Amino acid sequence: MSAALYSEFFRSKNLAEIAWYGTTEATSRIAKVLLKEKRISNSEPLRELCDLVYGELLGSSRPEYIYKNLLLSKTVFGKYSPATTSWLYEFKVGEARADAVLVNGDATVFEIKTDLDDFSRAEKQVESYYKCFDRVVFVVSEKQKDKALRLLPPSVGILGLSKRDRLATVRNAKSFRKELSSASIFHLFRKKERDILEEKYKIDTRSVPPIQRYRAALEAVSDQPAQIIYSDFVAALRARAPAEKRASIAAQLPESLRAAVFGYNLKDSEWQLLASRLQEPIREFL
């Protein structure tokens, strides 16, 4: 069976439809093949199939979902704690989009490069990230490790995914604040966060026409030291996406679904329904 079909199982749409309707075409196809191969029985709960499919992806070309799930396990559930950590996926930074941002006192950008990715955009990605963050880490496969060491600046950290599916530090990230830009950071604040910022720095835009207020606030914040605005930004991110709530949902599901819980916009009720579905026997999903 192709890795593409296994990957389909972990997509947001498939998981949501399992929760809503009890089964999906992809789930049924996967279950029938694994049953035919006698790798699972139809009396076992669907969560067993979920873990089996995840194991198949680990043994394949390992799509980005695998990297995200292992990264979550190593950081939020390993080195740190959900109670003190915030985690954001697909975070747009200028012209780049970070795969993940972890906030735990400091903020760290993670960029994933699987075997199917190249480094053609790496220079511009790093440039964009360092305007708004002081720590950048690339997560790469064993195959990409030497290339990462050769092409990435020495301040950029590197995590390597081994053939045994373990993430190990190849090079530690170093704090690099030389390129931080108050103006670039300002664009990443949300409306309510900008209002707090304006109040803190006594920026009054009430006399400015509404269409010009954003520009006026941007110019005022740009005059502030970048490291101070960066500290405000990290505090805002910390409050924006606390990991504790998501971790409590993830605790009801297989570990293979951690990246899905933290990355997909399903409602809490949908996750709870999915958790219930995963306890049902596989024969219900054929």
pLDDT tens digits for 81-132? 998 999 999 999 999 999 999 999 899 999 999 998 999 999 999 999 999 9
Q: Is the pLDDT of residue 5 over 90?
A: no
What does the pLDDT look like over 121-158, one tens digit per residue?
Answer: 999 999 999 999 999 999 999 999 999 999 999 999 99
**Nearest CA-CA partner of 101 in 61, 123, 56, 132:** 132
Task: Please tell me the predicted confidence (pLDDT) of residue 38.
Answer: 92
CB 132 within 8 Å of CB 188:
yes
**Lookup: tokens for 270:** 């949908």
C-alpha span between 208 and 220 (Å, rounded): 13
Interval 172-191 mean pLDDT: 97
pTM: 0.93
Q: Calculate ∠ Cα 260-134-261, nearest 5°.
A: 10
Judge whether residue 179 has pLDDT over 70.
yes
Distance CA 161, CA 164 (A): 8
Measured from the Cβ of residue 133, the count of other Cβ atoms closer than 10 Å reads 28
> With contact defined as beta carbons under 8 Å apart, do 151 and 145 qualify?
no
- Nearest by Cα to 110 from 165, 164, 61, 167: 167
pLDDT grade, residue 171 (50/70/90)?
A: very high
